[in-house]
């Protein structure tokens, strides 16, 4: 059947557009018998269902390109206008009348029509032909009082225009304020829902975060069969399990993580070797315990990743594994897979060996203590005297690796991460920009080196695998960026292609400029999105031709798959599953990318909500920030603590403001006032809404200008834009999220 699909696509591609119908295809493929005809008709039906081919005028077939069809995720803004991103091409705009029944986040097939093109901007309009995959199959709702009794009101505003038909269980009594999870059976109006479970009441502590998790299909609870399997796994390594593994228990080996981390899936050890070093990165062998197609494996695949929400974690694996037998806890033996690298004085990995091992962590170290040791803290250096020399060798080795990476063009974006401190009820007490020190960079460099070494082995050996890929930025976006940079006084030259080294040099040359944060964050928006793939296509941001995720199998499913494939094909030399594995890699990559996006969206929504909640108690207070974006409706200001808010153009009291898109400015020509990207500005907090995740500011003073103020307390805000780190994950830069003071049960690594 797959053979038929390939041949049909080849015939249509090589024929004149829209000239082959069913009979033409059958003749060219010599299909005559009844059985062959039935199978062929089934293939055509499947291909039409998948939108691989489209039946056009005269029942003739076209492929996607001939028909002008694009497949992508549709993102719908607050005005109801949708946009479908296309790699290397301008996004497709879809107005509400042409959206069919598509909802935000759905995978859609859209018919594209060219719209307009200019020097700096391209655009295209389109019509949704079909929704191929729904972004969500469930809905969170809250019962509200009505004259006819409690009625379910969807929490997600995009469902607010729908009537709701809810099938409730027998004997269920809805109460005002009750929150429930419901399955969506039909996306028509009215929405047809089936009750799944009650999750609590809207004023319960933590219900705000829990609702967002469920809304992104993130379940904090594990199924009973998964917990049963986890409970059956011994919490100690047996002598039999050590057989065939290299004994590393004699090495000084440490884990280095955030203060609050509980799951440790990577450990490092280093020894001087002449002018260079022998660096060992040992990673928990989760694949030994999570076997293919087991309940644990199926649940890990479904989740795709661990989710870190403010002060909580929803792990990919039950804590019996993630914090227990799979965690490289200090002073106990654990099973690992080790990447041992010879690193020369210039930071080049001259040789690498990858093998199954077992180890015993000498110490559980924190970034804070490691940084203090490097800073010369005598008390800590005395306390950890037995590992200080190794830590200093580790620093020297990692620094050499980083210098080599930088020399080859790896881009290091400096973006502020928020640290949100909450009390036991979830109320935000403080929000700060998170700090990162030398220890965090050391671990990042060691992990990247191991990821590259394993990717090189898997790609060179042609083993089935899941890679981490990052495409080069779109030239059109870089052209827009170059224009912005010129207006800020920091010209950036764009050619047909830009190397990561050129971008790195440009950012490094401007890192002391007052506009650096704007230059860096805007460059992030030009980056493509990093995703998983079954093909090794390189990582632009890291300037690596081969890259994958190997170092976090406790919290990322692709890493678990890499370990499983390493064991099967490299350690055990078993090629009996090759055909099936090659097909699975594509599925694993696509699903893991989807779950990563869902986890990121949930994390950012929770942070936006807590930021808005934090600002509700600071209405009227004055802060100084930086203008990071200017639009025709106003401009966004980012505060040093990473909170962003909107200054609406109608709140500027001193006359008419003209939006100059080319100069990224709002200009009042009569008053000789302009608000530009990069300006420092003093604002007053006007309004904030936790429910709508909105923050709005009013202008007090622009740096160097006259004092002026207008506060519109009744003005409706605009949704708080996500922080610059959101752009990092959305557009491809690999954040070192290990640096985030990790939450109660874990940490995150998204290199």
Share of the chain above pLDDT 90, in %: 55
C-alpha–C-alpha distance, residues 82 and 77, integer Å: 6
Q: Please give the pLDDT value at position 706.
A: 42
Beta pairing class for 634-638 and 622-631: antiparallel
3-state secondary structure of 699: strand
Q: Please give the pLDDT value at position 57.
A: 81
What's phi and psi for 75, nearest 5 deg?
Answer: -115, 125
Q: How far is CA 188 from the centre of its chain?
A: 30
Residues 637-686: tens digit of each pLDDT:
999 999 999 999 989 877 889 998 777 889 998 888 899 888 899 999 99
Q: Please give the pLDDT value at position 729.
A: 38
Q: Please give the pLDDT value at position 51.
A: 86
C-alpha–C-alpha distance, residues 446 and 339, integer Å: 10
CATH code of 621-710, in short, is: 2.40.50.140
| 155, 609 contact by CB (below 8 A) | no
| 265, 326 contact by CB (below 8 A) | yes
Q: Please give the pLDDT value at position 133.
A: 87
* Residue 750, pLDDT above cutoff 60: no
Share of the chain above pLDDT 70, in %: 91
Question: What CATH class is the domain 2-65?
Answer: mainly alpha
C-alpha–C-alpha distance, residues 333 and 284, integer Å: 11
| 458, 571 contact by CB (below 8 A) | no
Residues 386-441: tens digit of each pLDDT:
999 999 999 999 999 999 999 999 988 767 789 999 999 999 999 998 888 899 99
Q: Which helix (H) or strand (E) holds 438?
A: helix 438-461
DSSP string, 69-87: EEEEEEEE-TTS-EEEEET
Q: Please give the pLDDT value at position 374.
A: 96
Q: Please give the pLDDT value at position 122.
A: 55
C-alpha–C-alpha distance, residues 177 and 145, integer Å: 9
Angle at 684 between CA 681 and CA 685, to 5 degrees: 125
Residues 90-124: tens digit of each pLDDT:
788 899 889 888 888 889 999 988 665 444 445 68
C-alpha–C-alpha distance, residues 476 and 481, integer Å: 9
C-alpha–C-alpha distance, residues 618 and 272, integer Å: 54
Residues 563-603: tens digit of each pLDDT:
999 999 999 999 999 989 999 999 999 999 999 999 999 99
Residue 2's pLDDT band, with cuts at 50, 70 and 90, is: low
Structure tokens at 607: 């942070």
Residues 342-375: tens digit of each pLDDT:
999 999 999 999 999 999 999 999 999 999 999 9
Task: Report the CATH architecture of 68-133.
Answer: Beta Barrel (2.40)
Picking from 258, 245, 234, 451, the residue whose alpha carbon sits closest to that of residue 360 is 245
C-alpha–C-alpha distance, residues 683 and 643, integer Å: 12
Q: Where are the domains of the chain?
A: 2-65, 68-133, 138-204, 227-468+537-607, 472-527, 621-710
3-state secondary structure of 476: helix
Q: Please give the pLDDT value at position 733.
A: 42
C-alpha–C-alpha distance, residues 114 and 126, integer Å: 8
Q: Please give the pLDDT value at position 4.
A: 78
Q: Please give the pLDDT value at position 96.
A: 85
C-alpha–C-alpha distance, residues 736 and 733, integer Å: 10
Computed over every residue of the chain, the mean pLDDT equals: 87
Query: Do the domains spanning 2-65 and 621-710 agree at the CATH topology level?
Result: no
Q: Please give the pLDDT value at position 714.
A: 32
| 648, 633 contact by CB (below 8 A) | yes
Residue 702's pLDDT band, with cuts at 50, 70 and 90, is: low
Q: Please give the pLDDT value at position 382.
A: 96
**Mind spelling out the 3-state secondary structure of 303-341?**
HCECEEECCEEECCCCHHHHHHHCCCCECCEEEEEEEEE
The mean pLDDT value for 139-155 works out to 90
Q: Please give the pLDDT value at position 32.
A: 86
Q: Please give the pLDDT value at position 494.
A: 79
Residues 148-202: tens digit of each pLDDT:
888 899 988 778 778 888 888 988 999 999 999 999 998 887 888 999 999 999 9
Place of tokens 């390189």: 538
Residue 723's pLDDT band, with cuts at 50, 70 and 90, is: very low
Picking from 686, 662, 685, the residue whose alpha carbon sits closest to that of residue 674 is 662
Region at 447 (left for phi over 0; alpha for psi -120 to 50; beta for the rest): alpha
Structure tokens at 268: 């490092």
Q: Please give the pLDDT value at position 625.
A: 93
Q: Please give the pLDDT value at position 339.
A: 98
Residues 606-638: tens digit of each pLDDT:
999 999 999 999 999 999 999 988 988 999 999
CATH 3.20.20 fits 138-204, yes or no: no
Q: Please give the pLDDT value at position 423.
A: 93
Place of tokens 């593994």: 245
């Amino acid at each position: 059947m797959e053979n038929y699909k390939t041949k049909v696509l080849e015939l249509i591609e090589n024929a004149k557009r829209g000239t082959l119908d069913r009979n033409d295809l059958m003749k060219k493929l010599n299909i005559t018998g009844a059985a062959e005809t039935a199978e062929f008709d089934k293939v055509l039906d499947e291909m039409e269902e998948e939108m691989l081919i489209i039946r056009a005028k005269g029942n003739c077939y076209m492929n996607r390109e001939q028909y002008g069809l694009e497949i992508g995720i549709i993102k719908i803004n607050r005005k109801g206008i949708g946009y479908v991103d296309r790699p290397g091409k301008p996004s497709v705009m879809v107005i509400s009348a042409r959206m069919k029944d598509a909802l935000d986040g759905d995978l859609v097939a859209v018919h594209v029509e060219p719209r307009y093109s200019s020097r700096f901007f391209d655009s295209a309009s389109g019509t949704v032909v079909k929704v191929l995959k729904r972004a969500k199959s469930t809905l969170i709702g809250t019962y509200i009082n009505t004259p006819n009794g409690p009625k379910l009101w969807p929490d997600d505003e995009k469902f607010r225009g729908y009537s709701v038909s809810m099938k409730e269980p027998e004997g269920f009594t809805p109460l005002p304020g009750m929150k429930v999870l419901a399955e969506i059976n039909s996306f028509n109006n009215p929405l047809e829902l089936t009750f799944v479970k009650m999750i609590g009441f809207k004023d319960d502590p933590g219900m705000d975060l829990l609702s967002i998790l469920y809304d992104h299909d993130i379940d904090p609870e594990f199924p009973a069969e998964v917990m049963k399997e986890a409970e059956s796994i011994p919490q100690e390594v047996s002598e039999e399990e050590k057989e065939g593994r290299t004994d590393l228990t004699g090495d000084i080996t440490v884990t280095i993580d955030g203060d609050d981390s509980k799951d440790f899936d990577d450990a490092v050890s280093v020894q001087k070797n002449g002018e260079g070093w022998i660096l060992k990165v040992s990673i928990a062998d989760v694949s030994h315990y999570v076997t293919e197609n087991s309940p644990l494996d199926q649940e890990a695949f479904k989740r795709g990743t661990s989710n870190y929400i403010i002060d909580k974690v929803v792990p990919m694996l039950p804590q019996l594994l993630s914090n227990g037998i799979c965690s490289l806890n200090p002073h106990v033996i654990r099973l690992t897979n080790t990447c041992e690298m010879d690193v020369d004085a210039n930071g080049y990995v001259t040789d690498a060996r990858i093998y199954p091992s077992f180890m015993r962590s000498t110490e559980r170290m924190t970034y804070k203590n490691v940084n203090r040791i490097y800073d010369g803290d005598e008390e800590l250096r005395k306390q950890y005297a037995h590992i200080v020399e190794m830590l200093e060798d580790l620093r020297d080795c990692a620094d050499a690796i980083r210098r080599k990476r930088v020399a080859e063009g790896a881009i290091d974006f400096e973006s502020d991460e928020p640290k949100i401190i909450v009390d036991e009820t979830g109320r935000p007490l403080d929000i700060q920009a998170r700090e990162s020190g030398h220890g965090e960079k050391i671990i990042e460099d060691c992990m990247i080196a191991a990821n590259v070494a394993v990717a090189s082995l898997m790609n060179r050996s042609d083993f089935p695998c899941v890679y981490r890929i990052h495409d080069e930025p779109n030239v059109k976006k870089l052209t827009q960026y170059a224009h912005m940079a010129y207006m800020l006084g920091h010209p950036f030259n764009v050619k047909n292609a830009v190397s990561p080294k050129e971008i790195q040099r440009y950012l490094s040359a401007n890192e002391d400029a007052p506009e650096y944060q704007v230059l860096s964050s805007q460059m992030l928006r030009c980056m493509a999105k990093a995703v998983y793939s079954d093909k090794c296509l390189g990582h632009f941001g890291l300037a690596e031709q081969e890259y994958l995720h190997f170092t976090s199998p406790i919290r990322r499913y692709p890493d678990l798959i890499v370990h499983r494939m390493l064991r099967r094909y490299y350690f055990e030399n078993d090629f009996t599953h090759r055909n099936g594995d090659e097909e699975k890699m594509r599925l694993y990559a696509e699903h893991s990318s989807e779950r990563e996006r869902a986890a990121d969206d949930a994390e950012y929504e929770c942070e936006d909500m807590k930021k808005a909640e934090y600002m509700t108690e600071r209405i009227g207070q004055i802060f100084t920030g930086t203008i990071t974006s200017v639009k025709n409706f106003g401009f966004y200001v980012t505060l040093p603590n990473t909170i962003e808010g909107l200054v609406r153009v109608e709140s500027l009291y001193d006359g008419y403001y003209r939006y100059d898109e080319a100069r990224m400015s709002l200009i009042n020509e009569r008053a000789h006032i302009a608000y530009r990207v990069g300006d420092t500005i003093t604002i007053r907090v006007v309004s904030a809404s936790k429910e709508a995740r909105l923050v709005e500011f009013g202008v007090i003073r622009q740096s160097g200008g006259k004092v002026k103020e207008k506060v519109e307390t009744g003005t409706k805000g605009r949704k708080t834009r996500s922080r610059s780190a959101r752009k990092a994950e959305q557009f491809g830069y690999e954040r070192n999220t290990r640096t985030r003071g990790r939450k109660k049960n874990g940490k995150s690594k998204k290199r």
